[in-house]
Amino acid sequence: MQTTAGDEHREPLPDASTAPPTVGRLAALAAGALSAGAALGVSELASGIAGGGEPSLVSSIGTEFIDRFAGGLKDLAVQLFGTNDKPALIVGIIINSLMLGALFGLVARRWFWLGAIGFAGFGAVGLWAYTRDPLGSTTTGLLAAVIAVAVGVASLWALLRVAPRRAAVTDRDADHSDAHTGTRRRTFLAAALVAIAGAAGSSVLGRKLRAGNISEAARADVALPRAGTSAGVPDRQPFSPEGLSPYVTPNAEFYRIDTALIVPQVDIDAWSLEISGMVDSPFSISYDELLEMESVEETVTLQCVSNEVGGRLVDNAVWQGVPLQALLDRAGVQAGATQVVGRSLDDFTAGFPTDVALDGRVALVAYAMNGEPLPVEHGFPARLVVAGLYGYVSATKWLRQIELTSWEDFDGYWITRGWAKEGPIKTMSRIDVPASSARLAAGPTPVAGVAWAPTRGIERVEVQIDDGEWQECRLGEVASDNTWVQWLYEWDARPGEHTIRARATDRGGETQTDAVEPPIPSGATGWHSRRVRVTG
Ligand SMILES: Nc1nc2c(c(=O)[nH]1)N[C@H]1C(S)=C(S)[C@@H](COP(=O)(O)O)O[C@H]1N2
Ligand SMILES: [Mo]
For residue 4, is pLDDT > 50? no
Q: Assign 78 a pLDDT band (cuts: 50, 70, 90).
A: low
- Calpha distance 348→393 (Å, rounded): 11
Answer whether 491's CB lies under 8 Å from 446's CB. Answer: yes
- Structure confidence at residue 68 (pLDDT): 84
- Say whether 85 sits in a helix, a strand or coil: helix
Report, as an integer, the average pLDDT of 84-98: 89
Summarize pLDDT for 97-143 with one digit per residue, the tens: 999 999 999 999 999 999 999 999 999 999 999 999 888 888 889 99
Say how many Å lie between the CA of residue 71 and the centre of ligand 2.
13
- Calpha distance 43→125 (Å, rounded): 13
Ligand 1 binding pocket includes 262 (Cβ within 6 Å): no
User: Ligand 1: which residue has its CA nearest to atom 7?
Assistant: 258
Number of the ligand 1 atom closest to the C-alpha atom of 304: 14
Domain boundaries, the chain: 13-210, 229-233+245-417, 428-535
Summarize pLDDT for 472-511 with one digit per residue, the tens: 999 999 999 999 999 999 999 999 999 999 999 999 999 9
**H or E element in which residue 331 lies:** helix 324-331
Summarize pLDDT for 219-247 with one digit per residue, the tens: 999 999 999 988 899 999 999 999 999 99
* Length of the chain counted residue by residue: 536
- Calpha distance 181→135 (Å, rounded): 49
Answer whether 246's CB lies under 8 Å from 483's CB. Answer: no
Report, as an integer, the average pLDDT of 392-410: 98
Summarize pLDDT for 246-282 with one digit per residue, the tens: 999 999 999 999 988 888 989 999 999 999 999 999 9
- Say whether 363 sits in a helix, a strand or coil: strand
Query: What rounded mean pLDDT belongs to the chain?
Result: 90
**H or E element in which residue 200 lies:** helix 178-210
Say how many Å lie between the CA of residue 79 and the centre of ligand 2.
7
- Calpha distance 295→279 (Å, rounded): 22
Whether the bond between 81 and the residue before it is cis, its omega within 30 degrees of 0, is yes
Ligand 1 binding pocket includes 347 (Cβ within 6 Å): no
Could you tell me which residues come within 8 angstroms of residue 270 by beta carbon, excluding any fewer than 6 positions away? none
Strand duo 383-386 + 165-166: pairing: unpaired
- Calpha distance 502→528 (Å, rounded): 6
Ligand 1 binding pocket includes 256 (Cβ within 6 Å): yes
Ligand 1 binding pocket includes 527 (Cβ within 6 Å): no
Q: Please give the span between the terminal C-alpha atoms of the chain, in angstroms, as a whole number.
A: 89
- Structure confidence at residue 212 (pLDDT): 57
Number of the ligand 1 atom closest to the C-alpha atom of 345: 1
Strand duo 272-277 + 399-405: pairing: parallel
Answer whether 464's CB lies under 8 Å from 277's CB. Answer: no
User: Ligand 1: which residue has its CA nearest to atom 20?
Assistant: 378
Pocket test for ligand 1, best of 86, 135, 257 (most atoms within 8 A of CB): 257
Pocket test for ligand 1, best of 85, 258, 312, 347 (most atoms within 8 A of CB): 258
Taken in order 209, 215, 218, 222, the sign of the CA dihedral is negative
Look up residue 49 and give its amino acid: I
User: Ligand 1: which residue has its CA nearest to atom 9?
Assistant: 258
Q: Assign 13 a pLDDT band (cuts: 50, 70, 90).
A: very low
Report, as an integer, the average pLDDT of 354-368: 97
User: Ligand 1: which residue has its CA nearest to atom 16?
Assistant: 257
Answer whether 105's CB lies under 8 Å from 39's CB. Answer: no
Say how many Å lie between the CA of residue 397 and the centre of ligand 1.
6
User: Ligand 1: which residue has its CA nearest to atom 1?
Assistant: 397
Q: Assign 32 a pLDDT band (cuts: 50, 70, 90).
A: very high
Ligand 1 binding pocket includes 257 (Cβ within 6 Å): yes
Q: Does domain 229-233+245-417 have CATH number 3.90.420.10?
A: yes
- Calpha distance 291→221 (Å, rounded): 13
- Calpha distance 17→168 (Å, rounded): 7
- Calpha distance 261→56 (Å, rounded): 10
Ligand 1 binding pocket includes 130 (Cβ within 6 Å): no
Ligand 1 binding pocket includes 304 (Cβ within 6 Å): yes
Say how many Å lie between the CA of residue 9 and the centre of ligand 2.
66
Say how many Å lie between the CA of residue 176 and the centre of ligand 1.
62
Say how many Å lie between the CA of residue 349 and the centre of ligand 1.
10
Ligand 1 binding pocket includes 343 (Cβ within 6 Å): no
Say how many Å lie between the CA of residue 305 and the centre of ligand 2.
5
CATH number for the domain formed by residue range(s) 428-535: 2.60.40.650
Q: Assign 309 a pLDDT band (cuts: 50, 70, 90).
A: very high
Strand duo 296-303 + 363-369: pairing: unpaired
For residue 1, is pLDDT > 60? no
Summarize pLDDT for 151-195 with one digit per residue, the tens: 999 999 999 998 888 765 444 444 555 667 778 888 989 999 999
Ligand 1 binding pocket includes 503 (Cβ within 6 Å): no
For residue 434, is pLDDT > 70? yes
What is the pTM (predicted TM-score) of this model?
Answer: 0.88
Q: Assign 356 a pLDDT band (cuts: 50, 70, 90).
A: very high
- Calpha distance 462→429 (Å, rounded): 10
Report, as an integer, the average pLDDT of 387-411: 98
- Structure confidence at residue 168 (pLDDT): 53
Q: Tell me the Ramachandran region of residue 298: left when phi exceeds 0, alpha when psi lies from -120 to 50, beta otherwise.
A: beta
- Structure confidence at residue 14 (pLDDT): 43
**H or E element in which residue 26 lies:** helix 25-50
For residue 11, is pLDDT > 50? no
